[in-house]
Amino acid sequence: MPLDFRDIAIVGGGCYGSFYASQLLRARARGKVAFRRLLIVDRNPECQAARELAPTDFSHRIQDWTDFFDDWLGNEAGAGDAIVPSPLMPHLMYQWIVRRAQARWPGRQIRTTPVDTEARTPYDMLAPDGIRYVSHADWLCPTHCIEPALCPATRAPRTWEMSDTLAELSRRMSRSATMAGPAVLRCRHRAFGVGMFDADEVLAADALVAGAGNQGVPVRILVGTVSSCHGAIGLLELGEMVAGGSILQGGPEPPMGRPGIDSTLPGGHQE
């Protein structure tokens, strides 16, 4: 039985996105996956995907990544949908969750706090924007590695899992602050060298933040987009919920949709 998806959103239509799209089309032709649509998200109408793929093979969303996810995750996305990230993209899912929190609790203090606690991985870097980038590899990984149980770089069993590392980091941070989660979006290999995470995971992470924030007390939530070996980690800090400054617990969820352009004309490049 093939893996069955509804829509698969690919971040970027450049060298990575066009490769991932080609691999998924090949996998479908061989009966390994099924999907309704490939959505290639790129603001440039003349990207590599546009030049190399048939217009009938994908639906082009000519939008900035931020605008696309505000629209798609807030309206269209649901069960059966998946997201193929780009290695070069910023921490888009964390940014979307922050915007959701800001819309949900207007007037409440909401900020990104630097993840200043080390993850204790071989590669562990805090970026200027407060996001911590981590990796269990201190070597150059093979291009499009699917992170199998036997590491192709060390030729030894892979003894690490980044989602476990994130959970352990959250436990250590909870010793000095009230923590919830963590919210983990795990990119897993699905077919023909293409990794993705489900849109439902992003929506569940947003629901986790809503549940933690609706308690009304200050809380921090780690949000990580990770594979087995690598990850980007953001720390969302919610201040105390004051009367009149935000919606009450159980209140309506904020709308996040924005109109965009959905075209089956050749795609764009944002990688």
112-152 pLDDT tens trace: 999 999 999 999 999 999 999 999 999 989 888 889 999 99
How far is residue 96's CA from residue 102's CA, in Å, rounded to a whole number? 10
Q: What is the pLDDT of residue 253?
A: 61
pLDDT band at 247 (very low <50, low <70, confident <90, very high): very low
Domain range enclosing 13:
3-263
Is the residue at 81 inside a domain?
yes
Is the residue at 270 inside a domain?
no
| Element holding 168 (H helix, E strand) | helix 162-173
Is the residue at 95 inside a domain?
yes
Q: What is the pLDDT of residue 256?
A: 55
**Arithmetic mean of pLDDT, 24-30:** 96
Beta bridge partners of 194: 191
**232 vs 127, 160, 161, CA distance in Å?**
10, 16, 14
pLDDT band at 269 (very low <50, low <70, confident <90, very high): very low
Q: What is the pLDDT of residue 87?
A: 86
pLDDT exceeds cutoff 50 at 250: no
pLDDT exceeds cutoff 70 at 267: no
Q: What is the pLDDT of residue 171?
A: 96
Q: What is the pLDDT of residue 255?
A: 59
Q: What is the pLDDT of residue 252?
A: 47
Q: Shortest CA distance to 176 belongs to which of 218, 223, 120?
A: 218
Q: Shortest CA distance to 9 belongs to which of 81, 64, 74?
A: 81
Q: What is the pLDDT of residue 248?
A: 40
pLDDT exceeds cutoff 70 at 264: no
Token pair recorded at residue 55: 């217009």
Q: What is the pTM (predicted TM-score) of this model? A: 0.87
**Number of structural domains found in the chain:** 1
Residue 45: Cβ-neighbour burial (10 angstroms; 0-12, 13-18, 19+): middle
Is the residue at 120 inside a domain?
yes
Is the residue at 48 inside a domain?
yes
- In this structure, are residues 192 and 27 in contact, taking their beta carbons and an 8 Å threshold? yes
Is the residue at 231 inside a domain?
yes
Is the residue at 269 inside a domain?
no
**Arithmetic mean of pLDDT, 177-196:** 94
Is the residue at 20 inside a domain?
yes
pLDDT band at 254 (very low <50, low <70, confident <90, very high): low
How far is residue 35's CA from residue 8's CA, in Å, rounded to a whole number? 7
pLDDT exceeds cutoff 70 at 268: no
